[in-house]
Amino acid sequence: MTNIVRAQKKQKTKAVSLITLADKSSPISEQYRTIRTNIQYAMVDRDLKTLVITSSGPSEGKSTTSANLAIVFANSGKRVLLVDADMRKPTVAKTFALDNTRGLSTLLGSRETMLHQVVQNSGVDNLFLMTSGPKPPNPSELLDSRRMQELIHELKHQYDLVIFDMPPVVAVTDAQIVASKSDGTILVVRENVSKRDSLLKAKSLLEMVDANILGVVYNGSKNIEDQGYYYGS
């Protein structure tokens, strides 16, 4: 068992399950690799480097999908940065047992903070992490700032793939903002949780900002530790 998985098990908070680290040969891990392949196909034509993961509502598996996709892409040799851009309900620090005193909010909020000061090692080869940082009063404004635009530009130079773990698209505008500045967007749908109306609303909100929706990740309802399954779109 890796240190990350061990640290996760001690926590009662909302760390998500890193099945792709805990059990690389499980069917769920295989499904994440299938999703990776599908995304890679979409990446061939275009220079796709920044990816937004969102869903219509809460608890549909955005953070689970972001973290596990980041791991399987890193395993394929790409230099990957997972950014916790859900500054409202952050999970990356908990999931990877990291300090969150500095992160995206710090970087966007102060000109003095440098990128290298907020990127942390994950313990997984090729995978780097940016936690959310302390909860700011104005997440949407920070994400819509010029500094965010510059940051995305800089990250594209430094990494092969940047994955943004976002809040739900229907409740707040954060995911719309980042999707409009990113190369691709993936919508997570969770069995028995996602509502049809909300899904349609999510799609139209993303289309409104010309997000490049690459597809849907269907997150099965079964327990993730217990032969749960994922389908790529």
Stretch that binds ligand ADP, among 30-38, 59-67, 74-82, 207-215 (CB under 6 A): 59-67
Other Cβ atoms within 10 Å of 173 Cβ, number: 17
Q: Does 63 bind ligand ADP (CB under 6 A)?
A: yes
62 binds Mg ion (CB under 5 A): yes
* Stretch 4-23: interaction string toward ligand ADP, x if CB under 6 A: ----------x-xx------
Say if residues 88 and 54 touch (Cβ distance below 8 Å): no
Cα–Cα distance, 152 to 26 (Å, whole number): 34
Site size with Mg ion, rule: CB under 5 A? 4
Q: What residues from 178 to 207 belong to the interface with Mg ion (CB under 5 A)?
A: none
Tell me the closest approach of the beta carbon of residue 41 to Mg ion, in angstroms. Answer: 26
Of the listed pieces 3-11, 82-90, 105-113, 211-219, which binds Mg ion according to CB under 5 A?
82-90
CA angle 10, 58, 107 (to 5 degrees): 75
| Three-state secondary structure of 3-72 | HHHHHHHHCCCCCCCCHHHHCCCCHHHHHHHHHHHHHHHHHHHCCCCEEEEEECCCCCCHHHHHHHHHHH
Among residues 43 and 71, whose Cβ is nearest to Mg ion? 71
Q: Which is nearer to Mg ion, 88 or 147 (CB)?
A: 88
Report how far residue 44's alpha carbon sits from residue 196's, in angstroms, rounded to the nearest whole number: 31
34 burial level (CB within 10 Å; 0-12, 13-18, 19+): middle
Please state the closest distance from residue 190 (CB atom) to ligand ADP, in A: 6
**Pairwise CA distance, residues 108 & 9, whole Å:** 31
The nearer residue to Mg ion, 43 or 142, going by C-beta atoms, is 142
Q: Does 94 bind Mg ion (CB under 5 A)?
A: no
According to CB under 5 A, which one of 17, 20, 63, 176 is a site residue for Mg ion? Answer: 63
Between residues 12 and 111, which has the closer beta carbon with respect to ligand ADP? 12
Nearer to ligand ADP, 43 or 129 (CB): 129
Closest by Cα among 119, 129, 132 to 86: 132
Residues that bind ligand ADP (CB under 6 A): 14, 16-17, 55, 58-64, 91, 219-220, 222-224, 228
